[in-house]
Amino acid sequence: MISFRVISIQFRSSTGQKTKRILDSTVMRMLLIVTAFCCSLKAETRDADAFTNGLGLLQTQKFADAVVEFEKALSEEPQNTHILYNLGLAHYRLGQKGWAAACWRKALILRPDLREASKSLAILDSELPSSRQEVDESLWNQIQTRWAAPVSWSAYFFVLWLTLSAGGFLWLRYFAKRRELSAEELEGNGIPFPSSAALLSTCFLLLLGMMTLKWIDQRCPRATIVAETVSVRLTPDKEAQQLSEALQGQQVELLQSYGDWAQVSLSSGTVGWILKNSLFQTAGRPLW
């Protein structure tokens, strides 16, 4: 009887300690979750405050201060198209047209249907000195600028699903009717060829091709010249031979990175090296 009480007391004691440890662990986890939530909420509030402050400064025409606030917000949300658009607007009002073009181009890469950025960039392109330079008239560039880039992925997928569904239904109905007819009936009257299904299938294949081109184009690293003028040099050295000169707002293709330099390809076909601080990457995989 005594031994039973001892065992019972020891069991209750060990059970109580185990329950206490579980409760302590649960409370600690809840505290960690609450702390993490509060920290994330504070960070979001701080980011929202930076963006809101930037908008207020933009409205009061304090453009330099607005740039600082928008850059703070952009450092936390680099894919936010609204921040990019307003940052470009602040740069434009400061006369920094290269930066404005870079911000709006990146915003349009992320969201092709952003009309404000599209309209602003169209106006800005006519003001940029780079627009008077040689323009790439190649078929690839025309497809990229007029068809691939302006259409969003969601629009492509919707039309692709639509053509696949409608074309698939028409093809299935056609082959079902053929199966119902005998060989003599097929040789006689037959069934009209489903030209609508063939047309939809062709559109489906063209859409797949356009989506492939868009994917390849978005994977290609591109940047915009943000300095007024930049020397394009033969090697990554300030004393190297100057091959050409790039102007603000000009788009270049990024080839590789080396130290403070980036190798670029101009629309004229010139390949050379430019200092990274003269560039703002707008598309493709990051090279630095």
Structure tokens at 262: 């980036």
Report the C-alpha gap between 191 and 205 in whole angstroms.
25
Question: What amino acid is encoded at 127 in this protein?
Answer: E
What digits encode the pLDDT tens for the residues 228-253?
A: 899 999 999 999 999 999 999 999 99
Digit-by-digit pLDDT tens for the chain (288 residues) are: 333 333 333 434 444 454 445 444 544 344 333 333 333 334 344 456 899 999 999 999 999 999 999 999 999 999 999 999 999 999 999 999 999 999 999 999 888 888 899 899 989 988 887 655 555 556 666 666 666 667 778 888 999 999 999 999 999 988 888 787 766 665 656 677 888 999 999 999 998 888 888 787 777 899 999 998 999 999 999 999 999 999 999 999 999 999 999 999 998 889 999 999 999 999 888 877
23 vs 37: CA distance, rounded Å = 21
Q: Where in the chain is the domain with CATH 1.25.40.10?
A: 1-127
Please, are residues 282 and 223 in contact by the beta-carbon 8 Å criterion? yes
Q: Which amino acid is at 14?
A: S
The pTM of the whole model exceeds 0.85? no
Portions of the chain given CATH number 2.30.30.40: 222-283
The Cα–Cα gap between 69 and 81 comes to 15
Indicate the residue type of 207.
L
Reading phi first (left if > 0) and then psi (alpha if -120 to 50, else beta), residue 190 is in: left
CB 88 within 8 A of CB 107: yes
Give residue 78's identity as a one-letter amino acid code.
Answer: P
Statement: 222-283 belongs to CATH 2.30.30.40: yes
**1-127 belongs to CATH 1.25.40.10:** yes
Q: Which residue has the tokens 């990146």?
A: 106
Give 3's Cβ-side CA count (13 Å radius): 0
